[in-house]
Chains A and B, each alone.
Chain A
Amino acid sequence: MALFRLNPLAPQEPALSIANTDDVLQLGDRLKGVRLIALRFPKFTDGRAYSQARLLRERLGYGGELRATGAVFLDQLPFLLRCGFDSFESDQKGFGPALAKARTLFSVVYQPTGDGRATAGQLRLGRRNSVAA
């Protein structure tokens, strides 16, 4: 498996590996001080880890590395990035170049997530307000 890390210098210890059936909201103290969490995609069509990722980032404020492991393919990248993943294990040919492009594949997003991108709705509101002002 090749490993792709958006923050190659971030510490990878202590690490935690979580099954996609685990309830991340029950992790409590086990999250303390953790620098790397690996979430798992047993099949790429099993999307439970996306919810886990958003809960970790947005509900629990987890700031360390979040790694996607298992069946990870380049076509998932726009979704993975938006849910807060910043490292990826994949063997797929072309994964690296796809990662470099994934953030700009879609210039517009509709959903607010923890990645902080302004949504189309927010941009429209901004436009209207600046016209009104």
Chain B
Amino acid sequence: MPDTHFYRYDDYDRALVAERVEQFRDQVQRRLAGELTEEQFKPLRLTNGLYLQLHAYMLRIAIPYGTLSTRQLRHLAAIARKYDRGYGHFTTRQNLQLNWIKLEQAPDAIAMLAEVDMHAIQTSGNVIRNVTADHFAGAAADEIEDPRVWCEIIRQWSTLHPEFSFLPRKFKIAITGSPNDRAAVRVHDIGLRLWANEAGEVGFEVIVGGGLGRTPMIGKTLREFLPKDELLAYLEATLRVYNRYGRRDNIYKARIKILVHEIGVEKMRAEVEAEYAATKDGALKLAPETIEAIARQFAPPPLRPKRTKVPEVEALKLENRAFALWLKSNVAPHRVPGHAIVTASLKPAGAPPGDASAAQMEGVADIADAFSQGEVRVSHEQNLVFPHVAVESLPEVYRALERLGFAEANIGKITDIIACPGLDYCALANARSIPVAQRISNHFAELSRQHDIGDLKIKISGCINACGHHHVGHIGILGVDKNGVELYQLSLGGDVDFGRTALGTILGPAVEADKVVEAVDALVATYLEARQAGERFVDTYRRIGAAPFKERVYGAV
């Protein structure tokens, strides 16, 4: 088995996770014995990732920085088989959700998870959640530094944090190490962007108060440049200000974005800086050896530069159009010549976005062992990524993915839809998301048409909580409930590309479920007629405005 190229637990990490499993086992036992009421138990199970959904319990498993070894992925498949119905759902926050867990078996399931150094700690509840990162981290050609080093440092600091385990509301952090943000850092409670200043030192831009949900907001810069070794002291200061002053009277106003909005970013900055001044240079300052020791574990695999033009690849490109399209949409540049980053699409035509069966997870693990240094990534767009594939292996990888049903050449295209679980699973939903995604996916299944339409991100949420990130979809779809009927509100113009983070604007009245496809079709037709060379859907929308789209949609439906 290949070595891993990311953080490996030591005995401290392992002891803590094992002790947390036993603590949870005791909590579950007390609940089953009636010693804890549901009201008391709920926050306890949530901070260990266990929800009660419509039909069953759901376990949300953390995949820190979206990075998995094949051993871990195979183990996840085995857990899904043993304790669930043999499949799982990869989420927009680089987690894996199992939808049919039994409370009585949940402690055993997470004990099995601990066997491969994984856990479900703080994947829900009003705590610091699993820190997310660019899914191309450590492989991307445009990267300044690997953000996962910092995710791991934050993971440890935030795990069972004694002061911040009962925050006003959940707290999400994302980190990017590239100028091309693939981690959506401006729509997180805290976003961190690594960049090099004029002196050539690398530090963080600290962005605070972004988020989607009921009140979408784009984060504001709290600190232009933070020295790296001060990261934890600065985060602790920010979280302390939030824990003390964040609103607790109204759940919808409890996120840090509301605090920042209400007191203003200047006041927020003054509060954080004052707190930071009192604690910096204390025990939270990171020793260079500490950073070094973690960074070493993320050392990239020793890839030798290889041929970038491979005859077999070029030949197959000519002969197989689907492969040629796949190279364009699913294969991204790697920093080592002759290698590539391959995205496996978990969005084949008509499938529930982000779902994979146990057998498929094992198939992905086999491919990663053979061709990607034994490593797999989970993207926040609910796909799986092979970070280190030699260009010469691309035909084989493609064929293997075809056998799994994950070779759809649609990354970034109209059928690469993000959809939350919606009313089929979720107790909070107003409307279904997955069947809507399936219908759109089937309608636009034809690949050359998708490639003609080009980059177009559709994001669907089943309620205002916006787990499907509809606000930042080029086309956002939000399920609403009107007198018991599912309706869908369309918005246009959202984006998460760096420097261009934008929230979509509602197009007009919500449409019925069976009209969504027609409406999307009308939007696409409007774009195709009006576009100028090189324009993506969202560019055309920005240039010509909503009116032509609106006319076409409401004329059509």
In the complex, are the beta carbons of A110 and B166 less than 8 A apart?
Answer: no
Please, which residues of chain B bring their CB within 8 A of the CB of A23? 244
- Proximity string of chain B (6-47) to chain A, C-beta cutoff 8 Å, 1 when within and 0 when not: 000010110110011001000100000001000010011000
Please encode chain B, from 238 to 269, with 1 for each CB lying within 8 Å of some chain A CB and 0 for all others.
Answer: 00100110001000000000000000000000
Q: Are B287 and A112 in contact (CB under 8 A)?
A: no
Closest to A113 in B: B162
How many chain A residues touch B (CB < 8 A): the figure is 37
Known: A51-B244, A82-B162. A107 touches B19 (CB 8 A): yes
Q: Please, which residues of chain A bring their CB within 8 A of the CB of B244? A: 23, 48, 51-52
Task: Decide: A111 and B157 in contact? CB cutoff 8 A.
Answer: yes
A51 to B167, CA, bound (A): 10
A46 to B19, CA, bound (A): 25
Q: Is the CB of A110 within 8 A of B157?
A: yes
Q: For the complex, give the distance between the alpha carbons of A51 and B245 in Å.
A: 11
B-binding segment of A7-15, A26-34, A71-79: A71-79
Asked, given contacts A47-B243, A50-B163, A124-B293, whether A112 binds B15 with beta carbons under 8 Å apart, the answer is no
Q: Is the CB of B248 within 8 A of A51?
A: no
Any A CB within 8 A of the CB of B1:
no
**Does A121 sit within 8 A of B, measured CB to CB?**
yes
Encoded as 1 (CB less than 8 Å from any B CB) or 0, chain A from 105 to 133 comes to 11111111100000111111100100000
Q: Is A40 located at the chain interface by the 8 A CB criterion?
A: no
Most buried by A among B157, B166, B287: B166
CA–CA, A59 to B240, complex, Å? 13
- Are A75 and B163 neighbours in the complex by a CB distance under 8 Å? no
Which residues of B123-171 have CB atoms within 8 Å of chain A's CB atoms?
Answer: 126, 156-157, 159-167
> Does B199 touch A at the CB level, under 8 Å?
no
**How large, as a class, is the contact surface on chain B?**
35 or more
Say whether A107 contacts B43, CB under 8 Å: no
Cβ B290 vs Cβ A120 within 8 A = no
A62 to B164, CA, bound (A): 21
Report B-chain residues with C-beta under 8 Å of the C-beta of A109.
Answer: 160
- Of the candidates A73, A112, A124, the one whose C-beta lies within 8 Å of that of B10 is A124
Known: A47-B167, A112-B284. A78 touches B162 (CB 8 A): yes
Q: Which residues of B contact A67 (CB under 8 A)?
A: none
Bound-state Cα–Cα, A47 to B168, Å: 8
Q: Which residues of B contact A110 (CB under 8 A)?
A: 16, 156-157, 159-161
Task: Give a binary string over A46-66; 1 marks a CB under 8 Å from any B CB, 0 the rest.
Answer: 111011101000010000000
Could you tell me if A51 and B13 are in contact, using CB atoms closer than 8 angstroms? Answer: no
Residue in B126, B162, B163 whose Cβ sees the most chain A Cβ within 10 Å? B162
Interface centre among A47, A93, A123 (most CB of B within 10 A): A47
- Any chain A CB within 8 A of the CB of B198? no
Q: Chain A residues near B19: list those with CB within 8 A.
A: 105-108
Q: Which residues of B contact A51 (CB under 8 A)?
A: 163, 240, 243-244
Measured between alpha carbons, how far is A112 from B167 in the docked complex, in Å? 19
Contacts of B162 in A (CB 8 A): 50, 78-80, 82-83, 111, 113
Q: Which residues of A contact B284 (CB under 8 A)?
A: 112
Q: Does B547 touch A at the CB level, under 8 Å?
A: no
Tell whether A120 pairs with B283 under 8 Å between CB atoms, given A75-B44, A110-B159: no
A47-B43 Cα distance, complex, nearest whole Å: 13
- CB within 8 Å for A128 and B13 given contacts A54-B163, A75-B27, A78-B162: no
